[in-house]
A = this chain, B = another copy of it.
Amino acid sequence: MAKEKKQPRPKAQTPKGFRDYFGTEVTERSDMLQKIAGVYHHYGFDALESSAVETVEALGKFLPDVDRPNEGVFAWQEEDSDWLALRYDLTAPLARVYAQYRNDLPTPYRRYAMGPVWRNEKPGPGRFRQFYQCDADTVGAPSVAADAEICAMLSDTLETVGIPRGDYLVRINNRKVLNGVLECMGLSDDAQRDDVLRTIDKFDKVGAAGVRELLGKGRLDASGAYIDGVGLSDDQAAPVLAFLTSRGDTAAQTLSNLRDAVGSSTIGAEGVGELDTMAELLDAGGYGADRIILDPSVVRGLGYYTGPVFEAELTFEIFDEKGRKRQFGSVSGGGRYDDLVKRFTGQSVPATGVSVGVDRLLAALREKGRIGSQSRGPVVVTVMDRDRMADYQAMVTELRNAGIRAEVYLGNPKNFGNQLKYADTRNSPIAIIEGGDEKAQGIIQIKDLILGAQIAQNATLEEWKERPSQFTVPRGDLVAKVREILATQAQ
């Protein structure tokens, strides 16, 4: 018989583009999701959790964003020939769910959903193939009151997770206004309209002057490559630039500028009217310009959405990887999209919604030092005598029953130094020690590890003597003394 070939060992590696999250990375995100769910619920939204897997048929195989047709999904074929795929966002499953259950769901249907989504794209730095989304959508409400509500909710959400007023802005634009502008320009050629839309999408990056060049003859980009322009004359391009730069000091001023920009276009006037209504509703709710503003320079998603478009931006500055100051930027976006379920049912159903970038928000809070401090580990009961595990077990149970996070050392107890090293790795605040002598005397040693570390680093001999970090107390005082030390440490 041929000798069996030895199998090589598998590699212990996170798959490319995925990552693992440890400890507070997990709990901080989970806390944030809970807080956001709380706000969404408060606004009358109901939870929905669909499965991670959808049929490719229901999902559509590719992302809806026309600019990224090659970015796909993770898909596989079932034995019985059905193709299944991991969801790439939470909107496509909502469309499927709404089409499937529409007769049983309330209309309008306000739902929120949170969970991971998957993208089969080339991973990059800080760009993962699995990440969290946290969406709220209102289905079946044609009125922009639904959009205004979502903007107000977005503002509340940001403040609830710890972004104070003044550190963020929700900015609103409207696709219909842009359509009005395009109508004014007399662009009848669909391809040219698409070119203009694509150019507008670069406003964030290249600014007004760049957009002017790109709408005209073209532009030399930073890399030295020449980008061909759309080929409009300056006169033709002017309304687009007027639209993008029409933000005034007040909502009234902005609306007036926009009215000029759309001229006699009916769809344009409708869009301006929608913005006007949203401003009025938000004002009635007390959401002033310190939280939510009309801003026609919001272009992200203008190509995808059909009515109001909104974006939440953090306005404080951070240092980027090259040490340059820049604004933190967008953490959430959304807008109105028609035809949510039309693919399934043939009927148009209006919908509007928002998606919050939970991981971006967590990064922002870390950047500001509001989360991410190392969390306190458990109290560690050390093992001096392996035959008396029951004694140590009793201690740890006493501590836990008193509401104190605690554990007994479960490694090999032979080397006591390893036990203290372990306590250190765990960021433990306190170690408990009870050797044979202590047991005989009915006492225990309690070591304040935080103070111990401080003293070891900074203290003079005098201070060392004055502020002992290890205490001998009767066994019966275990819980009381641990509580006392934890209280000192919390200060």
Interchain CA distance A393-B16 in the complex, whole Å: 48
Please, what's the 1-or-0 string for A133-146, where 1 marks a CB less than 8 Å from any CB in chain B? 00000101111011
Q: Is the CB of B18 within 8 A of A51?
A: yes
Which one of A58, A138, A403 has the highest number of Cβ atoms from chain B below 10 Å of its Cβ? Answer: A58
Give the residue name and chain of the B residue nearest to A280 (CB). B390
Taking a contact as CB atoms under 8 Å apart, the answer to whether B48 and A285 are in contact is no
The answer, yes or no, to whether A26 is at the interface (CB within 8 Å) is yes
Report the minimum CB–CB distance from A303 to chain B (whole Å): 23
Contact for A344 among B12, B42, B75, CB less than 8 A: B12
Chain B residue with minimal CB distance to A397? B285
Q: Which A residues are within 8 Å of any B CB, using their own CB?
A: 9-16, 18-27, 30, 34, 37, 41-44, 46-55, 57-58, 60, 74-76, 82, 84, 86, 96-97, 99-101, 106-108, 110, 116, 118, 129-130, 138, 140-143, 145-146, 148-149, 152, 156, 277, 280-281, 283-286, 341, 343-346, 377-378, 386, 389-391, 393-394, 396-397, 400, 403, 405-408, 410-412, 422, 425-426
> B54 touching A284 by the CB < 8 A rule?
no
B406 pairs with A44, CB closer than 8 A = yes
Which residues of the partner chain B approach A41 to less than 8 Å between Cβ atoms?
Answer: 27, 405
Contact residues in B for A30 (Cβ distance below 8 Å): 34, 37, 47
Known: A20-B48, A82-B15, A106-B426. A149 touches B10 (CB 8 A): no
Bound together, the chains give a CA A397 to CA B42 distance in angstroms of 11
Decide: A26 near B42, CB < 8 A? Known: A12-B344, A53-B130, A143-B389. no
Contacts A10-B343, A107-B411; is A84 near B143 (CB within 8 Å)? no
Q: How far is the CA of A438 from the CA of B36 in the complex (A)?
A: 36
Minimum CB–CB distance for A449 against chain B, Å: 14
A-B contact pairs, 29 of them (CB 8 A): A9-B346, A10-B55, A10-B343, A12-B344, A14-B96, A15-B51, A15-B55, A15-B58, A20-B50, A20-B51, A20-B97, A20-B101, A21-B49, A25-B47, A26-B47, A27-B41, A42-B400, A43-B407, A44-B407, A44-B426, A52-B86, A52-B118, A53-B74, A107-B422, A108-B410, A141-B410, A149-B408, A284-B394, A286-B397
Determine the distance from Cα of A27 to Cα of B142 in the docked complex, in whole angstroms.
Answer: 28
The residues of B that contact A34 with a CB separation of less than 8 Å are 30, 34
Bound state CA distance, A28 and B366, in angstroms? 30
Rounded to whole angstroms, the CA-CA distance of A324 and B332 in the bound complex is 53
**Chain B CB within 10 Å, residue with most, of A118, A138, A377, A400:** A400
Q: Which of B116, B130, B284 is the one whose CB lies under 8 Å from A390?
A: B284
By a CB distance below 8 angstroms, the chain B residues around A44 are 377-378, 405-407, 426
Docked Cα-Cα span, A99 to B407, in Å, equals: 24
With a cutoff of 8 Å between Cβ atoms, the chain B residues found around residue A24 in the complex are 47
- Nearest B residue to A79 via CB reads B120
Find chain B residues with CB under 8 A from A130 CB.
51-53
Residues of B within 8 A of A389 (CB): 143, 145, 277, 281
B42 touches A20 (CB 8 A): no
Minimum-distance CB pairs A-B, first 10: A44-B407, A12-B99, A26-B47, A76-B76, A284-B390, A141-B410, A44-B378, A18-B51, A285-B397, A12-B100
Q: Which residues of B contact A425 (CB under 8 A)?
A: 106
CA distance A16 to B55 in the complex (A): 9
Task: Please name all residues of chain B whose beta carbon is closer than 8 Å to the beta carbon of A15 when the two chains form the complex.
Answer: 51, 53-55, 58, 82, 84
Determine whether the beta carbon of A149 is less than 8 Å from that of B410: yes
Chain B residue at minimum C-beta to C-beta distance from A22: B48
Which of these, B23, B75, B149, B345, contacts A9 with CB under 8 Å? B345
Contact: B9 with A21, CB < 8 Å? no
Query: Are A51 and B19 within 8 A (Cβ)?
Result: yes
| With known contacts A286-B397, A422-B107, A344–B9 Cβ distance under 8 A | yes
Interface core residue of A15, A100, A110 (most chain B CB under 10 Å): A15
Q: With A378-B44, A410-B143 given, is the CB distance from A57 to B11 under 8 Å?
A: yes
Whole-angstrom CA separation of A107 from B118 in the bound complex: 33
Q: Which residue of B lies closest to A388 (CB)?
A: B284
Contact status B58-A344, CB under 8 Å: no
Q: Determine which of B96, B284, B405 lies in contact with A391 in the assembled complex, contact meaning CB atoms within 8 Å.
A: B284
Q: Which residues of B contact A138 (CB under 8 A)?
A: 410
Q: How far is the CA of A54 from the CA of B21 in the complex (A)?
A: 14
How far is it, in angstroms, between the C-alpha of A126 and the C-alpha of B152 when the chains are bound?
40
- Chain B, Cβ-Cβ closest to A282: B393
